[in-house]
Amino acid sequence: MSNSVHKSSPIAVVAGIFHRCPSNSSSASGPPEVLVFQRAFGDMGGGLFEFPGGKIEPGETEHEALKRELMEELGIKVNVQALLGSSEFQGDSGKRFKLTVYFVEGPIASIQLKEHESMKWISRSTLVLSEIALGDRPLMELCFNQIDEMCSLASG
Residue 43's contacts (CB-CB under 8 Å, 6 or more residues apart) are none
Residue 128: the pLDDT is 96
Q: Over the chain, what is the mean pLDDT? A: 90
Asked whether residue 5 carries a pLDDT value surpassing 50, the answer given is no
Looking at beta carbons, which pairs linking 147-153 to residues 24 or more positions away fall under 8 Å? 147/19, 147/21, 147/32, 147/34, 148/32, 148/124, 150/19, 150/21, 150/32, 150/103, 151/21, 151/22, 151/23, 151/32
Residue 17: the pLDDT is 98
Asked whether residue 2 carries a pLDDT value surpassing 80, the answer given is no
Residue 130: the pLDDT is 95
Mean pLDDT of 42-61: 94
Mean pLDDT of 119-124: 97
CATH of domain 11-155: 3.90.79.10
Q: Any idea where the domains of the chain sit in the sequence?
A: 11-155
Task: Choose among 49, 74, 54, 75: nearest CA to 64.
Answer: 54
Q: Say if CB 118 and CB 33 are below 8 A apart.
A: no
Residue 56: the pLDDT is 98
- Look up the pTM and report it: 0.88
Please write the tens of the pLDDT for every residue from 138-147.
999 999 999 9
Residue 26: the pLDDT is 52
| 29 φ/ψ angles, rounded to the nearest 5 degrees | -100, 5
Q: Say if CB 82 and CB 103 are below 8 A apart.
A: yes
